[in-house]
Amino acid sequence: MNKNEPRPLGEVINDLIQSGELPKFKSSKRCKGMDKMSKIRKEELVREILADFDFAKVHRIMLLLNWQWRGKTPTIGDLRAEAGRLLRNVIENDNVYSSGTGGLQAFKTDESLELYFILEQSFALIKK
């Protein structure tokens, strides 16, 4: 292969997996008693998660996969803004526990607020 030719996507992703770069697309903060938390404390949690999350890594993967939102690959600023919107949606609304779009997913439980970048997922419903 010529040095100037792009590497096959499979090779690049495999190298990222081997280096440990690919799996960690998560940031979370423990926050027991979220329903009693002040608006200021909730915003502090959102800011902590946004500061901890590796948006540059997500952006690199999106570029490699040619992953686009509305016809273009989002910038790191776009990713950060959308993640903030999703986190605020779940933390400010009592009846919302998950909110996501474009690979980003925010979750809240009784004890944590979490942000993920999800490349693939699968689930099954358990019938009672």
What confidence score (pLDDT) does residue 41 get? 87
Q: Decide if pLDDT at 19 tops 70.
A: no
Cut 0.75: pTM above it: no
Q: Decide if pLDDT at 59 tops 90.
A: yes
User: Which position has the higher pLDDT, 98 or 122?
Assistant: 98
Q: At what angle do helices 55-65 and 76-92 cross, to 10 degrees?
A: 120
Q: How far apart are CA 106 and CA 85, in angstroms?
A: 9
Q: Give me the percent of the chain exceeding a pLDDT of 90.
A: 48
Give the residue from 94, 86, 92, 81 showing the smallest Cα distance to 114.
86
Write down the domain spans for the chain.
Answer: 25-117
How far is C-alpha 8 from the geometric centre of its chain's CA atoms? Answer: 25
Q: Decide if pLDDT at 124 tops 60.
A: yes
Give the residue from 104, 111, 110 showing the smallest Cα distance to 84.
104
What confidence score (pLDDT) does residue 6 get? 66
Q: How far apart are CA 3 and CA 22, in angstroms?
A: 24
23 falls in which pLDDT band (50, 70, 90)?
very low
User: Which position has the higher pLDDT, 12 or 57?
Assistant: 57
Strands 104-108 and 112-117: antiparallel
Q: Decide if pLDDT at 83 tops 70.
A: yes
User: Which position has the higher pLDDT, 72 or 25?
Assistant: 72
Q: Decide if pLDDT at 121 tops 70.
A: yes
